[in-house]
A and B are shown apart, each in its own frame.
Chain A
């Protein structure tokens, strides 16, 4: 019910916001979805990843290359991105799920950095470090001819983000989600029940990777540009921070943190010049002390009190 209400309010935003704010919010929603997908790994599966941006980048490059060479349809590009995300998740996750905790963190960091190098050094395909340019603007069911593109694209992004959230929520609630949580809590018992622990973990990585790649497609379509920095540790850290600020056991929390952090950066970097990073550093410190469960803790506390 709340989700529907939130979607309705968000859908009305084009009537409230200007073009720039709308594009900022579009980016915020895409990052929100990607942060929520990472929360599935970090919170639900107990797999802290420092290479999640690789999925963003794989999805973005897949969508951008599809747009450039195959189809200008946003839906086709999205499909290509999700497919690429699944393949990338299966190939890298197969190895990654053998490690745990801090070692998983570092293994995924290695995957991300190797992906950055691969994108940088495949200049013929990816445009190298100067990025993939010449991506055409996506078509959106012909609606873009009737209305301003930023508005149509915002609704498209909102629809994709809503669908992605629905997938994440369904997985969390369903039998796979229970199995994933089980491997986090007690590997030995899950194995005794006949589950393949690496298999369950790989499924978690694949779902999170596919959803994140969908977010990556939105980034590529919004900016009609992708660069190797999209895959790098800087973005991975940002996504992880969004999860921790929002609350790792939640989907809405990280999404909210993503929108909030992007808005905060926008305001502070404009107003403070090179001092905006100090505000961000202080925010991280304060949040650790004041919001131990992240933003999600705020409404949980409320619910408990009621």
Chain B
């Protein structure tokens, strides 16, 4: 019974990780950009929502409005990031890594300077702060629902629309796409903007679960990187499976083997890479 609760709880964290990581994996796959500022974007989402709502409990409508506003700001930050990365075309992942690491430090330290270095959080919106089935927090159910909705939308766009087909094509063969007259740069930009918007949105979604503090950016960045490495790059399915697996490892896994809890996540990632050096759904690149 308690393992079932663990597993369900793993879904909640998996859903949050999916929203965070899906942008990272698409940006890597599409733009060939290793965005180490992704964790800082998540953190920015949390801090901006905290600044907007002031740490008080608010109505669901106000909360959702703030979340959308934050996502829009994330899109704007994605534009800045795209512009910053533009001069680096053809210079490889490590230069992008250093640039985005520098930008991540600037962004997170700026946020800590504007708010403070203390701990902050936001309670769930009114109506979602209760519990279900006796003692399971309703907000976590809502996070799963949000993950399903966002996952569904992403899947639908990716698999069922022309825009999604262009994105997939741009991953597989950008040269061909350009040759048939598609503006590949615009496809790339839209993926970047959407990915950054999702990252900041995840920061709001995760606010009642992971409190705001110094170092939050690198903590979630490492989790997101693990998700996309396990799943394989540029694959929505990979991000889903990776996020769900990490969620279960962190709940069912540590409940079954508590004495190994500290090693478990990295050991699982290493094991997946030994089994398939490009992740579960990844292609060799």
Residue in contact with A284 in the complex, picked from B98, B229, B279, CB distance below 8 Å: B98
Contact A292 B91 (CB under 8 A): yes
Residue pair A114, B34 in contact (C-beta under 8 Å)? no
Contacts of B225 in A (CB 8 A): 106, 109
User: Are the C-beta atoms of A289 and B87 separated by less than 8 Å?
Assistant: yes
Contact A281/B266 with A101-B285, A103-B273, A289-B87 known, Cβ cut-off 8 Å: no
Bound Cα distance from A221 to B262, whole angstroms = 29
A281 to B279 Cα, complex, angstroms: 31
Q: Which of B195-243 contact A (CB under 8 A)?
A: 218, 222, 225-226, 229, 233
Interface residues on B, range: 35 or more
A to B contact number (C-beta, < 8 Å): 105
* Chain A interface helix/strand/loop/mixed: helix
CB distance from A114 to the nearest CB of B (A): 5
Of chain B, the residue at the smallest CB distance from A48 is B94
**Which of A100, A113, A288 meets B98, CB within 8 Å?**
A288
Instruction: Determine, out of A74-82, A169-177, A272-280, the stretch whose residues face the partner at the interface.
Output: A272-280
The reply to whether the CB of B164 lies closer than 8 angstroms to some CB of chain A is: no
Chain A residues lying within 8 Å of B104, measured Cβ to Cβ, are 281
Known: A110-B267, A284-B101; 17 extra A-B contacts, CB below 8 A, are A100-B285, A101-B93, A101-B285, A102-B28, A107-B270, A114-B267, A120-B262, A241-B98, A275-B113, A280-B105, A281-B102, A283-B102, A284-B105, A285-B103, A287-B98, A288-B95, A292-B91
Interface residues of chain A, those whose CB is within 8 Å of chain B, are 42, 48, 95, 98-103, 106-107, 109-111, 113-114, 117, 120-121, 233, 237, 240-241, 244-245, 248, 274-275, 277-278, 280-285, 287-289, 292
User: Chain B nearest CB: distance from A279 CB in Å?
Assistant: 10
Quick check: A237 and B274 within 8 Å, CB to CB? no
**Cα-based distance from A280 to B225 in the complex (angstroms):** 23
Contacts of B156 in A (CB 8 A): none
Chain A to chain B contacts (Cβ below 8 Å), 10 pairs = A99-B273, A100-B285, A102-B28, A103-B273, A110-B269, A113-B266, A233-B222, A274-B117, A275-B113, A282-B102
Q: Given the complex of chains A and B, what is the CA–CA distance between A114 and B101 in angstroms?
A: 23
User: B269 is contacted by which of A106, A121, A283, A285 (Cβ under 8 Å)?
Assistant: A106
Return B57 CB to nearest CB of chain A, in Å: 31
Residues on A with beta carbons closer than 8 Å to the beta carbon of B87: 289
Residue of A nearest to B95 (CB): A288
Give the residues in chain B near A103, CB-CB below 8 Å: 229, 273, 277-279
B277 / chain A contacts, CB cutoff of 8 Å: 98-100, 103
For the complex formed, measure the closest distance between the CB of B128 and the CB atoms of chain A, giving whole angstroms. 34
Contacts of A292 in B (CB 8 A): 91, 95
Give A281 to B112 CA distance when docked, in angstroms: 14
Whether A244 and B109, one on each chain, are in contact in the complex, defined by CB atoms closer than 8 angstroms, is: no
Partner of B106, one of A114, A233, A281, A289: A281
Which of chain A's residues have a CB closer than 8 A to the CB of B105? 277-278, 280-281, 284
Residues of chain B within 8 A (CB-CB) of A121 are 262
Q: What are the residues of chain B within 8 A of A109 when measuring CB–CB?
A: 222, 225, 266
A102 lies within 8 A of B233 (CB): yes
Residue among A109, A110, A275, A282 with most chain B CB within 10 A: A110
Could you tell me the distance between the alpha carbons of A114 and B270 in the complex, rounded to whole angstroms?
10
Nearest first, the 9 closest Cβ-Cβ pairs linking A and B are A284-B102, A281-B105, A285-B102, A110-B266, A281-B106, A288-B99, A110-B270, A106-B229, A99-B277
Of chain A, the residue at the smallest CB distance from B36 is A237
Contact B99–A284 (Cβ < 8 Å): yes
B20 CB to nearest A CB, Å: 16
When distances are taken between beta carbons in the complex, the residues of chain B under 8 Å from A111 are: 270
**Distance of A138 Cα from B53 Cα, bound (Å):** 58
Contact A117 B279 (CB under 8 A): no
